[in-house]
Copies of this chain bind each other. A is one copy, B any other.
Amino acid sequence: MSATARSSSEIIEIGPLLIIPDEHLARADGRVLVLSIRELRLLTELGRRADRIMPREELFRLVWGREMRSGDRSVDVYVRKLRVKLEDALPGWRFIHTHFGFGYRLAAERSGRSQLDNTAATTE
């Protein structure tokens, strides 16, 4: 493994998902997740406020650095892109949850059955 230990490296852990903003990457079970700049920043800002519902306007401000114009769907589109890559990397898990009329919330939950069902989802 890496012999060099980073002192101030921020690491956000969301279930099996690891977000390491300083290294410009996220990991799923150790595997590197290939994300674009916007995708990683959005995931990071969501991760920093895990379990909290984040309004689109605030996410946009955090990631894009400016005010969101009404009707702008950028956040939705990037949430979609993240969902695809996360589902691809960690099938059986759901991370980005929609709160209708409010925004999005990041949290690791198993998809398919109830959270009580611990049976591993069939991996294709």
Within 8 A of B (CB), among A70-124: 88-89, 97, 99-102, 105, 107, 114-116, 118-120, 122
A51 within 8 A of B: yes
- Kindly identify which residue among B23, B88, B102, B118 contacts A24, using a CB–CB cutoff of 8 Å: B102
Query: So how many copies of this chain end up in the complex?
Result: 2
- Provide the bound-state CA to CA distance between A36 and B115, in Å: 16
B30, B32, B50: the one within 8 Å of A115 (CB)? B32
Asked if B115 contacts A34 (CB within 8 A), the reply is yes
Chain A contact residues: helix, strand, loop or mixed: loop
A25 at the interface (CB under 8 A from B): yes
Closest Cβ of chain B to A105, distance in Å, is 7
A37 to B1, CA, bound (A): 26
- Indicate the size class of the contact surface on chain A: 20 to 34
Residues of B within 8 A of A102 (CB): 24, 37
**Bound CA–CA A1/B13 (angstroms):** 11
Partner-B contacts on A (CB < 8 A)? 1-2, 4, 23-25, 27, 30-32, 34, 36-37, 49-53, 88-89, 97, 99-102, 105, 107, 114-116, 118-120, 122
